[in-house]
Every structure is written in C-alpha cells, then in structure tokens.
C-alpha cells in the first residue's frame, strides 16, 4: 500500500475538498446549497403568497405591517453522493508505471476530498460483472480500507466501461456526481464508449489516464514492421510505421478523444487528462485548483 | 491456333520468373517484432489504407502473394497483348466519344475526362482493326469513317472539341450502328454517363462496351439556404442547407462551408432526393459564407452558393424628412445606424400617407391621444408597420421635466432620455425627459422610445425566472403600495398561470406578432432597451386605458 500511496501523497490529499455549487434535488443533508426551499435556519427570501401555498410558512409579522401575505423561504444544506468508477481493464495495468496506479491515486484523492466536505463517496473498481466491487466511504476507517482495496487490485477483464450501468443500477443513493477514471479505450470505437457514458444520468466528471505514447506512437515504435497484440482482445495487427501511418494514427486518436471532449462539453461535464508516467501529486491541480474541486 | 507460339512461351517464362522473384521476396521479408499494446483501435484505423500499399504487407499473406503472382502473369501477357488482340478481336470498331460539357471535369489524375477518353481511344485503336470515330456533342458527328486512313483518325481524335450542352448520345450510337455490319462489329463508348441507356434494345446494348470516365456526373445542387435565429439570442442561429439530388445518386455527398473568417467545416449530406444539413452556432454578423457541394473532385455545375448572413449587431435606418430630429437621435442612441442609400434600411416616418411604398419596411408612429393627470402627462399612441405588425396602445407615466430627485436611466449623448423619479408620495415612476416631450403638440420628441417601453413591459410580464429583490428590500420598497400591485406581477417570480390568475392589468396583447427574428429591428430595439433599463434596476408600469 505504501508503494501506491506513499505518505507524501496521503499528506498532499489530506487537505483537499470539494465544493458543489448547486446540489441536485432530493439529496441528503450536507454542506452544499440546494435550489429547493425547505426548513432550516438560513433565510433565503420572501415569496408572495398565492392560493394553495402552505399557510404555516406565511410570515404574519409582515402581514401585520403591510397587510400583504408573504411566505418565508429558506436554504437547506444538502450532501451530494459521489460515485467514483475506476476502469480496471487490462490496458490500465499493462505499462509501467501503470495507468491504474494514477487512477487509484485520483480515486483516493477524490475520496479524501469528499470526506473533508462531508459527502458520502462510493468507489467502484469496474470489471466483469461479478468482479466489480464497491466500497462506500463515510469516514477515515473506511478510507484506509479503500486504500488497501485499491492496492490489492488485479486486472479484471476487458471493456469494463460496460459495467458502469450495472454498478449504477445497484446503488442505493440518490443521483449525484459520477467520476469516471479510465483510459476510455474501447475497441468498438468511440460510439461504444459514449454509449456507456450517455446512460449515466448524474453530473459527470471524466478523468482520462494517458501514457506519452498514446498521442505520439513514435515514442514506442521504431520505423520497422511490428506485430502488435491488443492486450484485451488478443487481436494481432502487423504494421509498418511510416510518417503517413503515424499521421493517420494521430488523426484517429484526436478524432476519438475529440468526440469524447465534445460529449463532455455537451453534458457540461468536467474533464481532465493525467499522464501516468508523471508524478500524480503535481497533476492534482488539474481538478483541484487551490485544493478545491468545484462542481 | 497460336496459343503456344513463341510469344506465349515468352509470356509464360516471364510469369514464372516473376513468380520466382516474388517468392524470394516473400521468404526474405523482414520479420516483424511482437509487442503487446493497450489498444489496437487507432493502429487499425491508421493501417487500413496503408496495408495494401506497403511491400511487406503485400507479401505477408499467402493469398495476397498468389494474387500478385497472377498480376505478374497478366503483366507479362500484356507485353504481347497487341498480337493477341489482333487475333481475338474480329470485326470493325466504332469509337464514340462523349463531347458533352461534363467531360471538361478533371479526373483524379488531373487531366480532363475528354483527354482521358482520347488517350484510352488511342490505345484501343492500336490493337483494333477497322475503326471509325464519332463525337457525341450537341449532335452526332462522324469524324473518321472505316475507310479513312488511320492518320486521319488520330488527327480527328485529338481535335475533338467539347460542346456546352449535354451530348446527343442517342444519335451518336445510332450513327455508330448504322456504320457497322448488322451481325458483327462493336461500339466502344467513352463517356461519363453512368450506364448504357435503358432505352437501347438488348441486342444492340450487348455490342456496346462502355468505358466509364471517373464517377458519374452528379445532378445534385444546393437548392436553398435559410438562416434561423435561436430562440434565446437573435444574434446567433443556424444555417439550414437543403440539397437536392437525382435518384441515381446513392452515395452521400459532402458540403463544405467556408465562412469569411474562421475554419472551414465539412459536412456529410445524407443520400436522398432531398436532404438537409444544419450548421449550428452561426453568428449573424453579416458575413458571407460560401457553401460548396462536393461529389467528385472538379465536378462542374452549379454546386456552389454564396450566402450573406443577416447582421443583428446594427440596423440601418433611412429617415424621411418629416421625422423629427429627436426621433433620429433616439434611434441612434440605441445602437442603430443612419444610412441614406442602404438597400435594406428601415424607413422611419410619422403617420405620413404620402410616404413611398416601395421601401423595405416602414415604422409608423401614430398619436392616439393623451390625458393629463396630477403626476404628469399620460400619452397614448400606437405604432404600425407595413408588415402588419401592430403594437398595442401604451400609456407611459411621463412628466414635463426632470425633477431634482430624478436619476437618469437612459441617455442619448448628453441628453437624458429617461429618468427614474421619486415623487412626493414616495412612488417611483419612470419619467421622460422634457427633451423628449413636446407639450404643444403632445407628441413625444423621441418617438421611438415608447415603442421600446411597450416591448420591454411585455418582456417583463413574460418573465418566469426570478427577478426578485433581496428579502430585506421587499418591505422597504415603496412599490408595495396597493395601487402599484402590478409591479409584484412584473417583478417577482411567479409562474405564468399564477400571473394570469392575479388579473393584474399589465399589457394586454391583442394582435398576433410576427415570428421571432422576422422583425429584427424591433428585437434589436428591445434588446437595447432591456440592457439599458435593467442595468439601472428600472421598474416600468404600463396599463391599458379603456
């Protein structure tokens, strides 16, 4: 566990927090402002009375002074459930350092920030249906158990984005924020990947884990023929890289993730890219500027 | 039979030699290194086209290898093809060249289709016996008969001129068959038409060999371009491009949209006799867009149109002589432009029956009447346009002069156009400047301004989102006086049905409004008024006078 989550990392994520500007209706009690009006101590404003309104909310002092009926409206703080989904397909554990290591640290950072912000967080390591495991984290003891779970993880199959919907169907909490941490590689194309993401009704955060050679394959391959094997499907492909082939690779790569970015924009989703070959701590700034993840 | 004559043995020898060389290359190819990677997704797309062009790829699969051997054999046979052709092709050949205007289009090789046809025909006649040449232009022309020397054929072939019409293919084919014997001979037809016409009898069609030149000529065109402003912002919208195509076009076309400034976008046009492409996020800035429909490279025809977007950021007005100077100043103050020779300008005049009728649009302001009240003059008037847009009567609380307590909310240059006044009984009211008011004629000097107010008030009444003051200001606000209750409806968040139940006499709309965006001038005026007045927290009262 200390290898994946060294003390310096745990210290760095200890002060992170999450601020959610506008919570979803029907959320639990917590620290964020809800647009729905309810009963609490924080006054929001008045609303003119209309027929059918609850008379118990009429401010009779104002009526006495103005002879007009007004309702008092209040803010009530809410808690927003956060669900972190970690892709655990073989591609996440192939290289060294693995994409999974960065994904696990990001999940730990978000879990720590959620605890600090009095939110409930659940972390699911996606795999084939039976292999998917979910841990709810509401305090420090569960957080430490989460770190142990993430440290002991083994690859759990392919195309685990398909498991997203199954995991979300089983959850007991209300809708909130879903954070997907993955390389988003889907051998069936971008539409297959987006198909899984479109089915998520919650507010989305997409964290993409990359390696330097994803976008620049020259770093990994020389200019001679190579027999490439897909780590998940075991399909083979003989390629003879050339300038033109590399250009088309980059074009296909940009097209794929351009579509993903476009989807994120259309959903108003936060998205960020993390380099698995680099230290995770400095990259936390991508989603925690000044230590706060604002959603 | 001469199948195993000297030339055949040479061909077979060349083929076997080529096969041996290819086999050696196959065995000696560089063995690829094996590597496991995260995904093949992008590599698969990258090598999709490359695999068939790269030498190791060609030799890596036995089937491909066999195919290449077959190609090598065919190449060897083609070296002695002339001799074989002369022995296997019997009878005369009539060459028909399409000389219609579409043959000027470029082939992928860069030359015109006609030049490509001339080249192929020249190759063909080298291995043919008797040949004749017919050009299918506006009419069919026999350029070289079977009896003419071959030099004349070559000379006429190179001198074929294109006609700016469709080819008379029927006459050309008819002429070709009239030259041929009834029972043998053939026609080679060089054309960019898609297929042998259906009207040809089967017995004749079977003797025609069609040499296609490039893709079939499209008959697709851009048949309409419409700009639609968005529901929330008249300055942005989308372009709807309608494309028509003949039924024989089964493949999708491309539409290239080139704005005057910005990146070129390419869209796929769905196949079909009539389809539509929508270009979202277009800004109505008056810029010119070029829309090009692309089927094949160098395609001729009317497949490019240029559209000029509307410009919502500025509207030009053409003022007539009877429009008072204050009206001009009021319109200019809210961002419009005056231009005498603008072809699409809005003509502004005051209730003038003698105004010219052949103008783009007219905005008329008609005084209906006025009354005097203790708090100032109340003006009643209407506006009308030649597009049938009639604005409701309105009443504005107006004072002859600004008081000391008035705070300006709208200026036209140095002139205060409108101000928020706090009267002696602590009521807030909008007052028009004395500079706007002609007490003698009871006409507003800034005639356009009340129109803005009317539109503004209606917009206020339609608000469904909260525009509420903070709670502590509710009690302090003097607008809560009983006779000002309508401000609650106007200002505070109320669902539309609740507002309707309250029966507060706000503006009543009695006439239909033209569709949003069809009257950009008023939309612009409204937007300008909203910006100016809401920035000052202005509250506006309007009532219908019966």
**Residue B139: pLDDT above 60?**
yes
Tokens representing residue A187 in the block: 């051998």
Q: How many other C-beta atoms are found inside a 10 Å radius of the C-beta of residue B388?
A: 9
CB B428 within 8 A of CB B539: yes
Please report the pLDDT score of residue B468 as a whole number: 27
CB contact under 8 A, B501 and A246: no
Shortest distance between the Cα of A149 and any Cα of chain B, in A, equals: 24
**Residue A61: pLDDT above 80?**
no
Of chain A, the percentage scoring pLDDT greater than 90 comes to 9
Which chain B residue's Cα is nearest to A254?
B42
Which chain A residue's Cα is nearest to B499?
A50
Per CB-CB distance under 8 Å, the chain A contacts of B40 are: 187, 228, 230, 233, 235, 237
3-state helix, strand, coil in chain A (%, to 5): 40, 30, 35
Residue that has been written with the tokens 């703080």 in this structure: A77
> How far apart, in whole angstroms, are the C-alpha atoms of residue B56 and residue B58?
5
Angle in degrees, 0-180, between the axes of helices A99-116 and A140-151, rounded to the nearest 10: 180
Residues 6+ apart with CB under 8 A from B474: A45, A46, A70, B480
Going by DSSP bridges, is the β-strand pair A236-239/B33-37 parallel, antiparallel, or unpaired?
unpaired
> How far apart, in whole angstroms, are the C-alpha atoms of residue B466 and residue B489?
11
Half-sphere CA count of B469, side-chain side, radius 13 A: 18
Query: Could you tell me the CA-to-CA distances from B198 to A238, B194, B272, B319 in Å, in that order?
Result: 47, 11, 22, 64
Given CB atoms, is B494 within the 8 Å cutoff of chain A? yes
CB A100 within 8 A of CB A210: no
CB contact under 8 A, A187 and B41: yes
Given CB atoms, is B38 within the 8 Å cutoff of chain A? yes
> How far apart, in whole angstroms, are the C-alpha atoms of residue B175 and residue B96?
10
Please report the pLDDT score of residue A144 as a whole number: 85
Q: Strand runs (DSSP E) across B423-462, as ranges?
A: 428-432, 437-438, 443-444
Given CB atoms, is B50 within the 8 Å cutoff of chain A? yes
* Range with lowest mean pLDDT among B100-114, B192-206, B274-288: B192-206
CB contact under 8 A, B471 and A235: no
Residues 6+ apart with CB under 8 A from B121: B95, B97, B133, B157, B188, B190
Specify the DSSP element, H or E, that contains B124: helix B113-126
CB contact under 8 A, B43 and A237: yes
CB contact under 8 A, A240 and B49: no
CB contact under 8 A, A230 and B35: no
Shortest distance between the Cα of A255 and any Cα of chain B, in A, equals: 10
> How far apart, in whole angstroms, are the C-alpha atoms of residue A293 and residue A284?
10
Greater pLDDT, A15 or B242: A15
> How far apart, in whole angstroms, are the C-alpha atoms of residue B328 and residue A230?
73
Please report the pLDDT score of residue A208 as a whole number: 93
pLDDT winner (highest mean) among A21-25, B68-72, B117-121, B444-448: B117-121
State the DSSP string of B285-346.
Answer: BS-EEEEEEESSTT--SS-EEEEE--B-S--EEEE-TTS-HHHHHHHHHTT-EE-TT-TTPE
> How far apart, in whole angstroms, are the C-alpha atoms of residue B52 and residue B71?
14
CB contact under 8 A, B38 and A214: yes
Tally of residues, chain A: 295
A70, A237, A251: best to mutate for the B interface, most B CBs within 10 A: A237
Tokens representing residue A288 in the block: 């925690």
Collapsing DSSP to helix, strand or coil, A31 comes out as strand
* Range with lowest mean pLDDT among A227-231, B191-195, B449-453: B449-453
CB B136 within 8 A of CB B127: no
Shortest distance between the Cα of B516 and any Cα of chain A, in A, equals: 26
**Residue A3: pLDDT above 50?**
yes
Tokens representing residue A260 in the block: 């993903």
Per CB-CB distance under 8 Å, the chain A contacts of B470 are: 45
Which chain A residue's Cα is nearest to B476?
A66
CB contact under 8 A, A256 and B34: no
Tokens representing residue B379 in the block: 């003006």
- Give CA A114 to chain center in angstroms: 12
A240, A245, A249, A259: best to mutate for the B interface, most B CBs within 10 A: A240
Omega within 30 of 0 (cis) for the link into A287: no
Shortest distance between the Cα of B61 and any Cα of chain A, in A, equals: 11
Greater pLDDT, B389 or B92: B92
Query: Which of B31, B33, B42 lies at the smallest CB-CB distance from A253?
Result: B42
Please report the pLDDT score of residue B142 as a whole number: 87
> How far apart, in whole angstroms, are the C-alpha atoms of residue B102 and residue A239?
41
Shortest distance between the Cα of A115 and any Cα of chain B, in A, equals: 34
> How far apart, in whole angstroms, are the C-alpha atoms of residue B248 and residue B336?
50
Query: Could you tell me the CA-to-CA distances from B255 to A220, B132, B270 in Å, in that order?
Result: 38, 42, 10
CB contact under 8 A, B41 and A185: yes
The alpha-carbon radius of gyration of chain A (Å, integer) is 23
Average pLDDT, chain B: 60
CB contact under 8 A, A248 and B46: yes
Tally of residues, chain B: 546
- Of B121, B99, B119, B101, nearest to B109 by C-alpha is B119
CB contact under 8 A, B46 and A245: yes
Please report the pLDDT score of residue B502 as a whole number: 36
CB contact under 8 A, A248 and B45: yes
CB contact under 8 A, A238 and B41: no
Query: Could you tell me the CA-to-CA distances from A278 to A32, A83, A98, A113, B274 in Å, in that order?
Result: 33, 25, 11, 22, 53
CB contact under 8 A, B492 and A47: yes
Residue B8 phi, psi (nearest 5)? -65, -45
pLDDT band at A110 (very low <50, low <70, confident <90, very high): very high
Shortest distance between the Cα of B293 and any Cα of chain A, in A, equals: 23
Which chain A residue's Cα is nearest to B485?
A68
* Range with lowest mean pLDDT among A245-254, B473-482, B502-511: B502-511
> How far apart, in whole angstroms, are the C-alpha atoms of residue B420 and residue B428?
7
Of chain B, the percentage scoring pLDDT greater than 70 comes to 38
Please report the pLDDT score of residue B134 as a whole number: 92
State the DSSP string of B65-76.
Answer: HHHHHHHHHHHH
Query: Which of B40, B470, B494 lies at the smallest CB-CB distance from A237?
Result: B40
> What residues are paired with B227 via a beta bridge?
B239
**Residue B122: pLDDT above 80?**
yes
Please report the pLDDT score of residue B434 as a whole number: 42
Rounded average pLDDT over B112-139: 86
Collapsing DSSP to helix, strand or coil, B262 comes out as coil
Given CB atoms, is B36 within the 8 Å cutoff of chain A? yes
DSSP structure class, residue A130: G
CB contact under 8 A, B468 and A45: yes
CB B491 within 8 A of CB A63: no
Going by DSSP bridges, is the β-strand pair B415-422/B428-432 parallel, antiparallel, or unpaired?
antiparallel
| Cα distance between the two ends of chain B | 111
- Of B197, B293, B300, nearest to B251 by C-alpha is B293
CA dihedral B160, B161, B167, B168 (to 10 degrees): -60
Rounded average pLDDT over A161-167: 70
- Residues 51..90 of B with a Cβ closer than 8 Å to A: which? 54, 56-57, 60
B25, B39, B471: best to mutate for the A interface, most A CBs within 10 A: B39
Shortest distance between the Cα of A251 and any Cα of chain B, in A, equals: 8
- Give the torsion sign (CA, B36, B42, B46, B49): positive
Per CB-CB distance under 8 Å, the chain B contacts of A229 are: 34-37
CB contact under 8 A, B498 and A95: no
CB contact under 8 A, B40 and A51: no
CB contact under 8 A, A226 and B33: yes
CA dihedral B480, B486, B490, B494 (to 10 degrees): 90
Greater pLDDT, A264 or A28: A264
CB contact under 8 A, A239 and B493: no
Please report the pLDDT score of residue B458 as a whole number: 39
For B329-370, how does the pLDDT look when each residue is reduced to its tens digit (9 = 90+)? 555 544 455 555 544 445 554 444 444 444 334 444 433 334
Query: Which of B32, B44, B493 lies at the smallest CB-CB distance from A226?
Result: B32
> How far apart, in whole angstroms, are the C-alpha atoms of residue A42 and residue B45?
58
Please report the pLDDT score of residue B376 as a whole number: 39
The region, left, alpha or beta by phi > 0 then psi within -120 to 50, assigned to residue B376 is left
For B362-385, how does the pLDDT look when each residue is reduced to its tens digit (9 = 90+)? 444 433 334 444 443 333 333 333
* Range with lowest mean pLDDT among A122-131, B403-412, B455-464: B455-464
Per CB-CB distance under 8 Å, the chain B contacts of A246 are: 46
Shortest distance between the Cα of B475 and any Cα of chain A, in A, equals: 8
CB contact under 8 A, A48 and B488: yes
> How far apart, in whole angstroms, are the C-alpha atoms of residue A90 and residue B393?
73
- Of B190, B228, B204, B221, nearest to B100 by C-alpha is B190
Given CB atoms, is B480 within the 8 Å cutoff of chain A? yes
DSSP structure class, residue A71: E
Which chain A residue's Cα is nearest to B53?
A240
Given CB atoms, is B43 within the 8 Å cutoff of chain A? yes
For B165-211, how does the pLDDT look when each residue is reduced to its tens digit (9 = 90+)? 667 777 888 888 888 888 788 889 898 776 666 666 777 778 888 88
Query: Which of B30, B49, B475 lies at the smallest CB-CB distance from A224?
Result: B30
Say if pTM beats, i.e. exceeds, 0.80: no
Per CB-CB distance under 8 Å, the chain B contacts of A221 are: 35
> How far apart, in whole angstroms, are the C-alpha atoms of residue B396 and residue B432?
9
Going by DSSP bridges, is the β-strand pair A70-79/B140-144 parallel, antiparallel, or unpaired?
unpaired
Please report the pLDDT score of residue B218 as a whole number: 53
Rounded average pLDDT over B143-152: 85
> How far apart, in whole angstroms, are the C-alpha atoms of residue A30 and residue A117?
8
* Range with lowest mean pLDDT among A30-44, B40-54, B231-245, B305-319: A30-44
Given CB atoms, is B42 within the 8 Å cutoff of chain A? yes
ipTM: 0.78
B32, B38, B493: best to mutate for the A interface, most A CBs within 10 A: B38
């Amino acid at each position: 566990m200390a290898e994946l989550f060294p003390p310096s990392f745990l210290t760095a994520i200890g002060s992170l927090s999450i601020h959610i500007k506008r919570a979803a209706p029907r959320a639990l009690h917590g620290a964020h402002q809800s647009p729905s009006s309810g009963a609490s101590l924080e006054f929001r404003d008045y609303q003119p009375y209309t027929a059918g309104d609850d008379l118990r909310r009429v401010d009779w002092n104002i009526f006495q002074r103005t002879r007009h009926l007004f309702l008092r409206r209040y803010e009530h703080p809410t808690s927003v459930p956060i669900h972190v989904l970690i892709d655990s397909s073989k591609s996440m554990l192939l290289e060294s350092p693995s994409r999974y290591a960065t994904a696990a640290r990001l999940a730990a950072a978000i879990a720590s920030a959620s605890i600090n912000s009095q939110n409930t967080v659940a972390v699911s390591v996606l795999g084939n249906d039976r292999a998917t495991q979910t841990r709810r984290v509401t305090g420090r003891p569960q957080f430490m158990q989460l770190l142990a779970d993430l440290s002991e993880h083994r690859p759990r199959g392919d195309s685990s984005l398909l498991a997203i919907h199954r995991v979300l169907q089983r959850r007991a909490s209300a809708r909130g924020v879903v954070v997907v941490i993955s390389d988003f590689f889907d051998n069936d194309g971008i539409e297959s990947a987006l198909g899984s993401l479109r089915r998520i009704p919650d507010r989305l955060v997409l964290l993409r884990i990359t390696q330097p050679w994803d976008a620049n394959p020259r770093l990994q391959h020389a200019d001679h023929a190579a027999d490439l094997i897909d780590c998940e499907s075991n399909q083979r492909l003989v390629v003879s890289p050339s300038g033109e082939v590399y250009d088309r690779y980059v074009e296909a790569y940009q097209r794929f993730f351009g579509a993903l970015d476009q989807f994120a924009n259309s959903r108003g989703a936060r998205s960020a890219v993390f380099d698995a070959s680099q230290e995770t701590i400095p990259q936390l700034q991508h989603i925690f500027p000044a230590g706060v993840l604002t959603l | 039979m001469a199948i195993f004559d000297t030339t055949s043995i040479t061909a077979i020898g060349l083929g076997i030699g080529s096969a041996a060389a290819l086999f050696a290359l196959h065995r000696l190819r560089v063995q690829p290194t094996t590597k496991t990677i995260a995904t093949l997704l992008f590599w698969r797309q990258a090598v999709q086209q490359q695999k068939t062009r790269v030498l190791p790829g060609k030799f890596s699969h036995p089937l491909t290898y066999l195919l290449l051997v077959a190609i090598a054999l065919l190449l060897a046979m083609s070296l002695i093809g002339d001799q074989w052709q002369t022995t296997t092709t019997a009878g005369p050949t009539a060459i028909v060249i399409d000389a219609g205007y579409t043959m000027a289009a470029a082939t992928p090789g860069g030359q015109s289709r006609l030049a490509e046809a001339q080249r192929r025909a020249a190759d063909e006649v080298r291995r043919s016996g008797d040949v004749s040449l017919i050009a299918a232009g506006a009419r069919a022309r026999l350029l070289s008969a079977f009896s003419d020397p071959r030099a004349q054929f070559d000379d006429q072939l190179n001198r074929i001129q294109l006609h700016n019409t469709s080819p008379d293919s029927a006459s050309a084919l008819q002429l070709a068959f009239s030259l041929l014997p009834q029972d043998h001979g053939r026609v080679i037809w060089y054309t960019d038409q898609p297929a042998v016409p259906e009207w040809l009898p089967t017995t004749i069609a079977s003797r025609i060999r069609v040499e296609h030149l490039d893709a079939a000529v499209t008959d697709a065109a851009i048949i309409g371009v419409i700009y639609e402003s968005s529901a929330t912002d008249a300055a942005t919208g989308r372009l709807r491009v309608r494309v028509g195509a003949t039924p024989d076009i089964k493949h999708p076309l491309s539409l290239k949209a080139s704005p005057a400034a910005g990146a070129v976008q390419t869209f796929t046009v769905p196949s079909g006799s009539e389809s539509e492409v929508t270009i979202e996020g277009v800004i109505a800035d008056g810029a010119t867009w070029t829309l090009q429909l692309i089927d094949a490279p160098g395609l001729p025809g009317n497949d490019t149109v240029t559209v000029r977007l509307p410009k919502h950021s500025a509207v030009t007005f053409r003022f007539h002589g009877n429009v008072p100077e204050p009206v001009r100043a009021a319109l200019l103050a809210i961002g419009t432009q005056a231009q005498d020779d603008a072809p699409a300008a809005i003509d502004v005049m005051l209730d003038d029956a003698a105004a010219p009728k052949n103008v783009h649009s007219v905005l008329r302001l008609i005084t209906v009447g006025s009354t005097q009240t203790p708090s100032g003059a109340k003006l009643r008037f209407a506006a009308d346009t030649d597009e049938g847009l009639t604005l409701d009567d309105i009443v504005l609380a107006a004072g002859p002069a600004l008081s000391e307590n008035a705070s300006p909310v709208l200026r036209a240059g140095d002139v205060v156009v409108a101000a928020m006044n706090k009267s002696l009984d602590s009521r807030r009211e909008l007052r028009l400047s004395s500079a706007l008011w002609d007490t003698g004629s009871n006409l507003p000097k800034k005639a356009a301004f009340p129109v803005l107010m009317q539109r503004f008030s209606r917009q206020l009444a339609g608000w469904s989102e909260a525009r509420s003051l903070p709670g502590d200001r509710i009690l302090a606000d003097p607008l809560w006086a009983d006779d000002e209750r309508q401000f609650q409806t106007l200002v505070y968040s109320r669902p539309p049905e609740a507002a309707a139940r309250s029966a507060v006499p706000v503006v009543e709309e009695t006439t239909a409004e033209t569709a949003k965006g069809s009257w950009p001038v008023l939309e612009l005026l409204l937007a300008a008024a909203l910006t100016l007045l809401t920035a000052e927290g202005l509250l506006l009262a309007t009532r219908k006078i019966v």
